[in-house]
Chains A and B, each alone.
Chain A
């Protein structure tokens, strides 16, 4: 769209007008708070020093790494992320492959019902599952008693079970996203590949690993990266299923841990430093993951 000088100037103004408002808002509500958070992470701000805070250097970072619970919660967060994303992808791809088969009738009917957990607001999912994990009246224990003849499980009052309850809830709400992505990927795999494999007598299992899996990979890698980041940072589910870390502040992942440090204990400086650490972990992870899987072109 090259043209005269006047035209060039006009275009420059036009572009500035389109960009300006968004840039101003992004600077004000994203960039500025980010740099303020960096400053806070170097400060002593807490409940006793709300107004008269000052920059004290890297002490808060040292305090984060010296905190024994940090390592414990970090470990839990890794388990949480890996287990959740593993089941999201496995279930999602499994259901997508089933649903993609030619003979299945009523595809959109099944698809809509299976997407339901994604459509439901996350906090309602979490609060509802918390109700369903209730010891006496919750549907989960009632079903366990009725169909499996087992003793009820103390889902929300013991640390391991509470963490498991949060994982089950999050697996439930997360598989439809992967299913939708996988369905999109399956549509782009040419049918002839399967026909050729059939002629060669390859079993469906063999066909999945030799054709479907490798061809789905480029579509799934960005989705898995996104899924890892979302899951790692999902404060909703853990916080609401465990009602803020119950029992006894045992049910935490890093984000719920820092959320509590900030807004229940008002350890602002410490929480800001921990936020930076969480961000650094995720940033490093995604860079390495994307490089290892060679998916950078697809993601950018």
Chain B
């Protein structure tokens, strides 16, 4: 809003105020993360400390060592990776194909399907979880990979399809028509011309499905019961739930769990405008 012009004191003051606001809000945004880092580095005897220092006195990696070698952390990570991978592959494979068909072909019930997918976004968490929970009990699939993957797919799929469809809508049909005239089959036109162009949306869809499973607590809390079947969110919560919170283990675990997904998210965040908002908003 403020225009670049001259160096009169009002303009200068405005610029200073802008930077001050950025600094303050950036600190607020970053502080909790710094706090996790601090706590994860604290040696065992200082976990309950009232200090606000960033690098604690006597910083050590003892918490990470204990986490990796004396808890079930790696087991939980394995579970989380398996479940997230299944949900991601399912989400991307089905949404990239179905989204394309919904974008390019008119068929009976297409409109109803689109509205239906959108409406699922208003379901409260229990809407599908409760009936699926009852079904899983009856099928004896509670506390299993299959059970949790089914519920996560139910959560992720509608949004993925909707988003892919929205992105395909922005790719001109003329591109396939040109390919078809050159003798490509519909499959080749889709696979070799359109799909590569939809890469940003595919990336966002993959990220979204992966995060649905990787970051999910509420469903896992109900479906998974055996500690060996836990995914990471349940495991980390366990460190906090026991009578004396194991802050060091919790913080170290949170860092290891968050860093890859946060880095991925931040790297891909430039796609968020083109992928997410285009897909979600411009359907």
Q: Are A and B co-members of a single complex?
A: yes
Which residues of chain B come closer than 8 Å to A15, judged between CB atoms?
101, 105, 107
B273 touches A22 (CB 8 A): no
B21 touches A98 (CB 8 A): yes
Q: How many chain B residues touch the partner (CB < 8 A)?
A: 103
Which of B55-63, B66-74, B198-206, B261-269 touches A?
A: B261-269
Query: For chain A, what secondary structure do more than half of its interface residues adopt (helix, strand, loop), or is it mixed?
Result: helix
B223 nearest CB neighbor, chain A only: A263
Min CB distance, A6 to chain B, in Å? 13
A269 nearest CB neighbor, chain B only: B130
Contacts between chains A and B (CB distance < 8 A), count? 275
Q: Among A204, A219, A268, which residue has its beta carbon within 8 angstroms of that of B134?
A: A268
Q: B-facing mask of A248-277, CB < 8 A → 1, else 0?
A: 000000110011001100001001101110
B237 touches A121 (CB 8 A): no
Given A22-B94, A181-B277, 19 more contacts at CB 8 Å?
A19-B97, A26-B157, A30-B120, A30-B154, A33-B127, A40-B134, A94-B21, A112-B266, A113-B29, A114-B26, A121-B258, A142-B50, A172-B29, A180-B272, A183-B273, A212-B1, A223-B277, A263-B222, A300-B118
> Which B residues are closer than 8 A to A by beta carbons?
1-4, 14-15, 18-19, 21-22, 25-26, 28-33, 35-36, 39, 48-50, 52, 90, 93-95, 97-98, 100-102, 105, 107, 113-114, 116-135, 137, 150-151, 153-154, 157-158, 161, 176-177, 180, 186-187, 190, 211, 214-218, 221-222, 233, 236-237, 240-241, 245, 247, 250, 254, 257-258, 261-262, 265-266, 269, 272-273, 277, 280-283
For the complex of A and B, 7 pairs with smallest distance between CB atoms: A22-B98, A29-B154, A119-B265, A121-B215, A36-B131, A18-B101, A33-B131
> Which A residues are closer than 8 A to B by beta carbons?
1, 10-11, 14-15, 17-19, 21-23, 25-26, 29-34, 36-37, 40, 45, 50, 91, 94-95, 97-99, 101-104, 110-125, 127-132, 136-137, 139, 142-143, 146, 172, 176, 180-181, 183-184, 194-195, 198, 204, 207-208, 212, 219, 222-223, 226, 229, 233, 235-236, 239-240, 243, 254-255, 258-259, 262-263, 268, 271-272, 274-276, 278-279, 282-283, 286, 298-300
